[in-house]
C-alpha cells in the first residue's frame, strides 16, 4: 500500500484533473527569460514514449523566477542545463540540436564548463566535443581542495595526468600545475526533480562507512549525501551556491529570496515516464508507474521498512487474469509482462558483488557478497540508495571502466595505505569522491543517481559511458559476471525505459 504525506492521492488526482493539462510547447527547449508558464502537468515525447512532469500546487509563472532567469555574463539560467523535456537533466539529442541552431553562441556552450577547456577556440565544434558527443559538463575541482568546514585537505595520494584529450588538466592557466591548480573531470548533469526522495534519509548513520552521517555545518543537521556525484556539497542551498559560481558565472552570491524560490520549485517538481510507446500508460491495468506515485508517496523507504518492494509498481502487470490479458493487443501484453519480469529480476536475480568500495569495504558485508540490484538500488519508487554514501562500480577506474579515449586519464598513487581493491596505483578517468575527501580509498566512488525519467536523458552513468539502457545492463553483466540471459536483459531494459 502506498503511503501518503502532504498530498493524498485523491486530492492530487483532482488537482491534476482540474488544472488544464498542457501539452509540450512546439519547441521543447526552454531558453532563459522566456517567461513561459510552467503548468501543473507537462508532457514531452521521447524515443520510448512520453515523459510527464507534475508541479505540485502548480501552475507557476517563470517570468523573473531565478531558476528560469539569466544571471551572470554567459546568459545562462538553471534551466539551461536542467531541461524539462530531458527529465530536468540534459540529453545528447537536445545538446546537439542547440548546437545546430546556434552554435557556440548558445549559453549552454559557455567556455567555463560547456567546452573542453576555456582556453580553446570557442567557435569550433571540436572545443565542445565532450558535451556534444558525450553529454558531459566540465567540473573543475581545486586541488587540493577543502573539507566541508573549509579546512584544507591533506590527501593521502598524489595525482598525475597520464592523458589529457580535453587539454585542460595540462593547461597553463586551468590545469593541475597552474598557479591555481585544478583538476577537470567531465560528468553528466544530474536531474533536478523528485527531491523529496533525493533528500530523504533511511538511516541514522552511513552504513557504507560505518560512521555517523555527515552534518551540514550551516544547519547542524545530518544530510543524505545524495545530491552530487562526488558529494562535494551537503545541501541544496550549498549546491545552488556551487552552481551559481561554477556553472552560471555569477559574480555575486544568490540572495536568500532567490534561493527560497529555487528551493520551492525544485521540491515541487516530479518527473517520470508516463507512457510507453509499446506498453501504453505505465499506470494502466493496476500498475502504479508515473510521477503521480512519486508525488503522493512517502519518501526514503525500504520495502522492508514500510515501503513497496522496489519496482513493485508493476506487479499488477504480472498478475493479470486471463480475461484481462485477452483484452490487450499482443504487443502491449508482451511489453507489460516483460516489465514485470524485469522488476522481479531486478529484485531477485542474485550475483557476487566484489571489489566494490562502499559495499565490500570498509563495512563488513564481505568480499564478495551475494545480493541483487536492490542491494544498492533499494529505495521504494525511486531506485536510489536509502543508505547515504558513495559506491565505486568501476565505471571510471581501470580495469573495469569501458574504453574512453576522449576522457582524461589520471594516475593516483596512494602515499598511505594502498587502496583495498586496486593497490597502491590506480588509473582513473575521474577520482570521484576522493576529490572531496582526499582519501585514496574513495577513488572512483560516485553517488548513485535516481532511476526515474531515464528514457528522456541518455547517456547514463556519471561519465556518460553507457550510451543507452542496454549498455547499462551489459556493463553490470560484465562487471559482476552476472550471466543475464538475453530475455533478462530485454526485460531489464524494458523496466528502465518505463520508469
Residue whose entry in the numeric block shows the C-alpha cell 595520494: 157
User: Within 13 A of 348's CA, how many CA atoms are on the CB side?
Assistant: 8
| Residue 177 resides in a domain | no
User: Which residue range(s) make up the domain with 213?
Assistant: 9-147+182-269
For 234, the grid coordinates are 551537503
CB 431 within 8 A of CB 455: no
For the chain, the first-to-last Cα distance in angstroms comes to 19
- Residue 264 in contact with residue 490, Cβ under 8 Å? no
Q: What pLDDT is recorded for position 1?
A: 29
Q: Is residue 293 part of a domain?
A: no
Handedness of CA 87, 93, 96, 100 (dihedral sign): negative
Structure confidence at residue 250 (pLDDT): 59
Within-domain flag for 256? yes
Express each pLDDT in 322-364 by its tens digit. Answer: 999 999 999 999 999 999 999 999 999 999 999 999 999 987 7
Here the cell at position 246 is 561554477
Cβ neighbourhood burial of 155 (10 Å; 0-12, 13-18, 19+): buried
Phi then psi dihedrals of residue 126, to 5 deg: -60, -25
In a domain, 22, yes or no: yes
pLDDT at 253: 67
Element housing 187 (H / E):
strand 182-187
65 within some domain? yes
Q: Which residues of the chain have pLDDT under 70?
A: 1-26, 246-253, 304
Residues 441-469 as b or e (16 or more Cβ within 10 Å = b): bbbbbbbbbbbbbbbbbbbbbbbbbbeeb
User: Would 490 be classed as within a structural domain?
Assistant: no
How far is 397 from 210, CA to CA, in rounded Å?
24
Give the per-residue pLDDT at 44: 98
Q: Which three cell numbers mark 284?
A: 494502466
Residue 100 lies in a domain: yes
pLDDT on residue 221: 81
Q: What pLDDT was estimated at residue 240?
A: 79
* Structural domains of the chain, count: 1
Rounded to whole angstroms, how far apart are CA atoms 377 and 303? 11
pLDDT of residue 333: 97
d(CA 249, CA 262): 17
Distances (CA, A) of 132 to 75, 108, 139, 302: 19, 10, 16, 38
* Pairing status of strand 269-276 against strand 351-353: unpaired
Share of the chain above pLDDT 70, in %: 93
Q: Give the pLDDT score at 128.
A: 98
Residue 207 lies in a domain: yes
Amino acid at each position: 500500500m502506498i503511503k501518503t504525506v502532504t498530498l493524498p492521492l485523491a486530492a492530487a488526482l483532482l488537482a491534476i484533473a482540474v488544472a488544464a493539462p498542457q501539452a509540450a510547447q512546439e519547441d521543447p527547449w526552454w531558453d532563459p527569460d522566456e517567461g513561459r508558464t510552467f503548468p501543473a502537468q507537462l508532457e514531452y515525447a521521447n524515443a520510448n514514449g512520453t515523459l510527464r512532469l507534475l508541479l505540485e500546487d502548480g501552475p507557476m509563472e517563470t517570468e523573473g523566477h531565478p531558476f528560469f532567469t539569466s544571471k551572470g555574463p554567459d546568459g545562462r539560467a538553471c534551466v539551461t542545463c536542467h531541461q524539462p523535456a530531458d527529465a530536468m537533466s540534459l540529453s545528447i539529442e537536445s545538446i546537439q540540436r542547440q548546437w545546430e541552431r546556434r552554435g557556440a553562441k548558445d549559453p549552454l556552450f559557455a567556455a567555463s564548463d560547456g567546452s573542453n577547456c576555456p582556453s580553446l577556440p570557442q567557435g569550433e565544434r571540436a572545443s565542445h566535443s565532450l558535451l556534444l558527443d558525450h553529454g558531459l559538463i566540465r567540473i573543475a575541482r581545486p586541488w587540493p581542495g577543502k573539507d566541508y568546514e573549509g579546512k584544507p585537505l591533506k590527501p593521502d595520494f598524489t595525482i598525475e595526468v597520464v592523458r589529457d584529450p580535453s587539454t585542460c588538466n595540462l593547461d597553463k592557466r586551468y590545469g593541475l600545475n597552474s598557479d591555481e591548480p585544478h583538476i577537470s573531470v567531465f560528468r553528466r548533469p544530474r536531474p533536478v526533480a523528485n527531491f523529496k526522495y533525493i533528500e530523504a534519509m533511511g538511516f541514522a548513520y552511513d552504513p557504507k562507512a560505518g560512521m555517523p552521517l555527515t552534518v551540514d555545518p550551516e544547519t547542524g543537521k545530518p544530510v543524505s549525501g545524495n545530491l552530487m556525484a562526488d558529494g562535494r556539497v551537503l545541501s541544496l542551498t550549498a549546491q545552488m551556491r556551487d552552481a551559481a559560481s561554477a556553472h552560471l558565472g555569477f559574480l555575486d552570491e544568490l540572495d536568500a529570496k532567490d534561493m527560497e524560490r529555487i528551493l520551492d520549485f525544485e521540491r515541487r517538481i516530479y518527473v517520470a515516464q508516463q507512457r510507453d510507446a509499446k506498453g501504453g500508460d505505465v499506470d494502466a491495468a493496476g500498475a502504479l508507474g508515473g510521477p503521480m506515485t512519486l508525488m503522493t508517496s512517502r519518501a526514503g523507504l525500504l520495502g522492508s521498512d514500510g515501503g513497496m518492494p522496489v519496482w513493485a509498481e508493476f506487479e499488477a502487470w504480472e498478475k493479470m487474469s486471463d480475461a484481462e490479458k485477452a483484452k490487450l493487443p499482443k504487443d502491449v501484453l508482451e511489453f507489460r509482462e516483460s516489465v514485470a519480469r524485469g522488476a522481479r529480476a531486478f529484485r531477485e536475480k542474485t550475483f557476487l558483488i566484489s571489489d566494490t568500495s562502499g559495499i565490500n569495504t570498509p563495512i563488513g558485508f564481505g568480499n564478495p557478497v551475494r545480493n541483487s540490484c536492490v542491494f544498492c538500488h533499494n529505495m521504494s519508487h525511486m531506485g536510489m540508495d536509502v543508505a547515504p554514501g558513495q559506491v565505486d562500480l568501476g565505471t571510471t577506474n581501470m580495469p573495469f571502466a569501458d574504453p574512453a579515449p576522449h576522457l582524461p586519464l589520471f594516475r593516483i598513487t596512494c602515499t598511505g595505505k594502498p587502496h583495498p581493491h586496486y593497490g597502491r596505483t590506480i588509473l582513473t578517468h575521474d577520482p570521484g569522491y576522493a576529490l572531496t575527501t582526499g582519501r585514496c580509498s574513495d577513488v572512483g566512488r560516485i553517488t548513485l543517481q535516481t532511476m526515474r525519467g531515464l528514457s528522456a536523458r541518455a547517456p547514463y552513468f556519471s561519465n556518460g559511458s553507457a550510451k543507452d539502457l542496454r549498455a547499462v545492463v551489459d556493463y553490470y553483466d560484465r562487471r559482476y559476471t552476472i550471466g543475464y540471459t538475453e530475455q533478462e536483459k530485454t526485460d531489464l531494459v524494458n523496466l528502465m525505459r518505463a520508469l
